A and B are shown apart, each in its own frame.
Chain A
Amino acid sequence: MEWFDAFIVVFASGMRLAIPLILACVAGLWSERSGVVDIGLEGKILVGAFASAAGAFFSGSAWVGLAVGVAATVLFSLIHGYASIDQRANQIVSGTAINMVADGLTALLGNAIWQQGGRTPQLPPEAQFRAIAWPFEPEIARIPILGPIYDRLISGNDIITYVAFLIVPLTWWALYRTRFGLRLRAVGENPAAVDTAGISVRALRYSAVVICGVLVGLAGVYLALAQTGYFQPHMSAGRGFIALAALVFAKWRPWPALATCLLFGFLDAVAIRMQGMELPVIGPVPVQAIEALPYVLTVVLLAGFIGKAIPPRASGIPYVKER
């Protein structure tokens, strides 16, 4: 059973690493399904982490931190939305600008406020989201197989983790079972069809962008208030881009997005676990190679080796009424 326990430990760690990916990936899914390409996920994770850490630090409450963090990312999303939807700007340029501004601004403000090289002090426990222990944990943990699964995977996570796992079915349901979802899927494919059906393209895209802001904000909040308990510059460490890669890999669909993010998180956990280990023939494990796998897999997919990833047809293209 030792290997099983080890597996569960790595898997649980992978799951935790996957949470910000899932939230950011589904955030991107909403935005891109509506036709607004969002390469600024990375920057917005940082903004969410910084703003939530600052909010939690000054209020002493994790919930206030969450509210501040999400509000900040929604604001950044709206900036991107205004540029992409109303001003018809190039969405890649706008997203890149957001990444650069977020990276610099959070570090600058962090340093100005706390004078610790941009890092916040460690937040007190009540300003963090703590693990929630499920009932009868010690008792069930003793059961073989099921026990470790309950103990390490299901129980003992923070609220945002559970929310992240709820977001996926909710997104699926909203996309495929509601009027809003139908219109959203349509507007990302052919906004002219939506417009001529008498529906506002602008309102739909703004709604999607706001939803994106909320979800990607949660990803940042998770990093600062659940995973680490502080903010530190550049702490998003490429997660926004990995989430984008996962989005492509999942072909812009919710359930595959979840699976892909879990896979990428798991790869990350394996890489961490293998750090410093020696393998018989290879020698020290090339951790960087494992860390690069998400990108490699996505490139392989884009090259057409595993099916075909066709983005929503109108994504990245501003809608201009023309006849």
Chain B
Amino acid sequence: MGGRASRAPGGATPPVPSPGGDTLEDEEKRVTHAAGAVPPAIELIGINKSFGPVHANRNVNLRVEKGVIHGIVGENGAGKSTLMSILYGFYEADSGEIRINGERVRIRSSREAIDCGIGMVFQHFMLVQTLSVLENVMLGAEGGALLARGASAIRRRLAELGAEYGLDVDPDAIAGELSVGLQQRVEILKALVRGAEILVLDEPTAVLTPAEADQLFQMLRVLKGQNKTIIFITHKLREIMSLTDRVSVMRRGEMVATFDTGLTSPPELADAMVGRKVILRIDKGPAHPGAVALEARDIVVRDDRGVVRVDRISFALREGEILGVAGVAGNGQSELLEALAGIRPLSGGEIMIHGRPLSAAERNPHDERLIGVGHVPEDRHRMGLVMPFEACESAMLGFQYEPTYGRGLFYDRKAIVKDADRKMDAFDVRPRDPLLKTANFSGGNQQKLVLAREIERNPRILLVGQPTRGVDIGAIEFIHKRIVAQRDAGKAVLLVSVELDEILALSDRIIVLCGGRLTGERRPDETDARDLGLLMAGVSERAA
């Protein structure tokens, strides 16, 4: 474990301390590859896969050259994950052919995929939380019926890989206690220990902080330098542009285009993804802020474990403005939003609604809705919707007591369906079927359903959390327009988002949270991502 390479803190040069011979050999490989003699690492030909009536993959062709980082982008539900699941043996394609290094293979299980040299890093990590890193890496590659011998071999291999790729992880740490970034690293190590030559990463940055994402990118570039092939699935175009060599675009189950990353641009990719022009900037007029609608005075909020997550924060939200709350995920925004919506108790301070303090008895979602506070929760799966419910049932959650939906013990089924149909029409929820199960809608349409429910009730104050998380580009545009329309109608809108672009594009005023404290307030025209980034990191006010 002696001569381990340390990662450069700023991350200018990736460490490649492998013996010179190896590197030369790799150079040679890449040269021959450039000459076109090497067959592609992966070739998918005419892949079809249907789930009942849904045609998830339609005649998909994909060619990934050896030793490149190949991006796959597409909206949610475009079929990216299905395609990768087929490659990893989770599903078998209805028809089509898979070739690995030019050889036709059949992959019917994860075992066979691993044997083909494919390693997969899932979006939701496949780690056993209670086991150590070493045990997680060993699982399925134990090297014998008894653990002792295999364990020392894998321990050595981990040390080697740690040195070679800058992938240091303590092998005896318990997986569940590691940070998300390190857990992802364990996933990558798992693949490498199994001898993966092809690494598939499914939305790997969704759970990472920007710094962790940078580290990941650096790691991937080193792996590419070692002639590994990497497939990188995402819907963030910025990542595609900065990391990949080639990029393929999926749309509604089809592979619609493949570009050299250097020869394309985000707008072109976005067009290919949605099949029409998308405005990434939002056209909105100036705000006309009115009276203070909601005011927080020195509020303190604790999380479930009793830790203070919001520490004496004060701000005022006016009618006719969008106040953005920026911050790295986990810095108190979620708790703040929940406290304002009445879901989480206040440990201190006061919330004023239209100049009147909210009593403890009123601080619950039901009473706040009656007062006119709408809440679009951050996590629609956990709080916003009940997945097995029909859309029309989900569309009345929180308002089910209202006379519109029936009287006494019984609901008026027709009225419920009609009301849901109207909301779905207003918010372009597709498919417009109030009887379809909520779980069967795509992420974007589920989100539109929640927004429709809250906005159609015409609240004077709208609290919105992560409105476009896991939502495809077409729906993002729609949702953004709706939020701005609320502002223009004189509503007070509080927007909590971890997407800086979203905060910058929508907000009329921005406050930044870091470690539960307010670290700054900005107007969008006098700030930029870099400035906000510093505030989010807790670096104090600008020198000026």
Q: Is residue A199 contacting chain B, with contact meaning CB distance below 8 A? A: yes
Contacts of B142 in A (CB 8 A): 179, 182
* Interface locus among A66-74, A125-133, A188-196, A301-309: A188-196
- The reply to whether A177 and B148 contact each other, CB–CB distance below 8 Å, is yes
Nearest A residue to B120 by beta-carbon distance?
Answer: A196
From B109, B128, B146, give the contact of A189 (CB < 8 A): B128
Q: Is residue A183 contacting chain B, with contact meaning CB distance below 8 A? A: yes
Bound together, the chains give a CA A149 to CA B342 distance in angstroms of 65
Q: What string of 1s and 0s marks CB contacts (under 8 Å) between A166-210 and chain B?
A: 000000000011111111011001101111111100000000000
Q: How far is the CB of A193 from chain B (nearest CB, A)?
A: 4
Docked complex: B63-113 residues within 8 A CB-CB of A: 81-82, 85, 88, 90-91, 109-113
Bound together, the chains give a CA A192 to CA B125 distance in angstroms of 9
Q: Is residue B140 contacting chain A, with contact meaning CB distance below 8 A? A: yes
Q: How far is the CB of A317 from chain B (nearest CB, A)?
A: 14
Contacts of B135 in A (CB 8 A): 182, 186
- The reply to whether B147 and A178 contact each other, CB–CB distance below 8 Å, is yes
Bound together, the chains give a CA A199 to CA B142 distance in angstroms of 11
Contacts of A190 in B (CB 8 A): 126-129
From A176, A177, A193, A323, give the contact of B139 (CB < 8 A): A193
Docked complex: B122-158 residues within 8 A CB-CB of A: 122, 126-131, 135-136, 138-142, 144-148, 150
> With A186-B139, A198-B109 in contact, is A193–B127 under 8 Å at CB?
yes
> With A177-B148, A178-B146, A182-B142 in contact, is A321–B129 under 8 Å at CB?
no
- The reply to whether A196 and B88 contact each other, CB–CB distance below 8 Å, is yes
Contacts of A185 in B (CB 8 A): 128, 130-131
Nearest A residue to B91 by beta-carbon distance?
Answer: A323
Contacts of A179 in B (CB 8 A): 142, 144-147, 150
Q: Is residue A152 contacting chain B, with contact meaning CB distance below 8 A? A: no
Q: What string of 1s and 0s marks CB contacts (under 8 Å) between A93-107 and chain B?
A: 000000000000000
- The reply to whether B139 and A197 contact each other, CB–CB distance below 8 Å, is yes
Q: Is residue B270 contacting chain A, with contact meaning CB distance below 8 A? A: no
- The reply to whether A183 and B139 contact each other, CB–CB distance below 8 Å, is yes
Q: Is residue B493 contacting chain A, with contact meaning CB distance below 8 A? A: no
From B85, B111, B150, give the contact of A198 (CB < 8 A): B111
Contacts of B167 in A (CB 8 A): none
Q: Is residue B483 contacting chain A, with contact meaning CB distance below 8 A? A: no
Nearest A residue to B124 by beta-carbon distance?
Answer: A192
Docked complex: A25-56 residues within 8 A CB-CB of B: none
Q: How far is the CB of A184 from chain B (nearest CB, A)?
A: 11
Contacts of B110 in A (CB 8 A): 195-198
> With A196-B88, A198-B110, A323-B81 in contact, is A186–B128 under 8 Å at CB?
yes
Q: What string of 1s and 0s marks CB contacts (under 8 Å) between B470-499 and chain A?
A: 000000000000000000000000000000
- The reply to whether B139 and A194 contact each other, CB–CB distance below 8 Å, is yes
Interface residue SS majority, chain A = helix
Q: How far is the CB of A263 from chain B (nearest CB, A)?
A: 25
Contacts of B138 in A (CB 8 A): 182
Contacts of A198 in B (CB 8 A): 109-115, 140
Bound together, the chains give a CA A189 to CA B135 distance in angstroms of 13
B contact residues, range: 35 or more
Q: Is residue A313 contacting chain B, with contact meaning CB distance below 8 A? A: yes
- The reply to whether B140 and A189 contact each other, CB–CB distance below 8 Å, is no
Bound together, the chains give a CA A34 to CA B136 distance in angstroms of 16
From B111, B115, B139, give the contact of A182 (CB < 8 A): B139
Nearest B residue to A173 by beta-carbon distance?
Answer: B146
> With A194-B139, A197-B110 in contact, is A189–B129 under 8 Å at CB?
yes
- The reply to whether A323 and B82 contact each other, CB–CB distance below 8 Å, is yes
Q: How far is the CB of B138 from chain A (nearest CB, A)?
A: 7
Contacts of B147 in A (CB 8 A): 176-179, 181-182
Contacts of B145 in A (CB 8 A): 178-180
Contacts of A189 in B (CB 8 A): 128-131
Bound together, the chains give a CA A91 to CA B114 distance in angstroms of 32
> With A179-B147, A182-B135 in contact, is A197–B140 under 8 Å at CB?
yes
Bound together, the chains give a CA A193 to CA B115 distance in angstroms of 17
From A176, A199, A323, give the contact of B140 (CB < 8 A): A199
Contacts of A186 in B (CB 8 A): 128, 131, 135, 139
From A182, A195, A313, give the contact of B129 (CB < 8 A): A313
Contacts of B130 in A (CB 8 A): 185, 189, 313
Bound together, the chains give a CA A323 to CA B81 distance in angstroms of 7
> With A185-B131, A197-B140, A198-B110 in contact, is A192–B126 under 8 Å at CB?
yes
Docked complex: A154-169 residues within 8 A CB-CB of B: none
Contacts of A321 in B (CB 8 A): 90
Bound together, the chains give a CA A192 to CA B112 distance in angstroms of 16
Bound together, the chains give a CA A199 to CA B89 distance in angstroms of 12
Q: How far is the CB of B487 from chain A (nearest CB, A)?
A: 39
Q: How far is the CB of A148 from chain B (nearest CB, A)?
A: 40
Nearest A residue to B135 by beta-carbon distance?
Answer: A182
Nearest B residue to A193 by beta-carbon distance?
Answer: B126
Docked complex: B382-407 residues within 8 A CB-CB of A: none
Contacts of B85 in A (CB 8 A): 323
Bound together, the chains give a CA A194 to CA B109 distance in angstroms of 12
Nearest A residue to B123 by beta-carbon distance?
Answer: A323
Bound together, the chains give a CA A178 to CA B143 distance in angstroms of 11
Q: Which of A183, A192, A197 has the most CB of B within 10 A?
A: A197
Bound together, the chains give a CA A194 to CA B135 distance in angstroms of 12
Q: Mind listing 8 A-B residue pairs with CB under 8 Å? A: A181-B147, A189-B129, A190-B126, A190-B127, A193-B126, A194-B128, A197-B140, A198-B110
Top 7 A-B residue pairs of the complex, sorted by shortest distance between their CB atoms: A197-B140, A198-B111, A193-B126, A179-B142, A198-B110, A323-B85, A186-B128
Q: Which positions in A face B, CB cutoff 8 Å?
A: 176-183, 185-186, 189-190, 192-199, 313, 321, 323
12 additional A-B pairs beyond A178-B145, A182-B142, A186-B128, beta carbons within 8 Å, are A177-B146, A178-B147, A179-B144, A179-B146, A190-B127, A195-B110, A197-B139, A198-B140, A313-B130, A323-B82, A323-B90, A323-B91
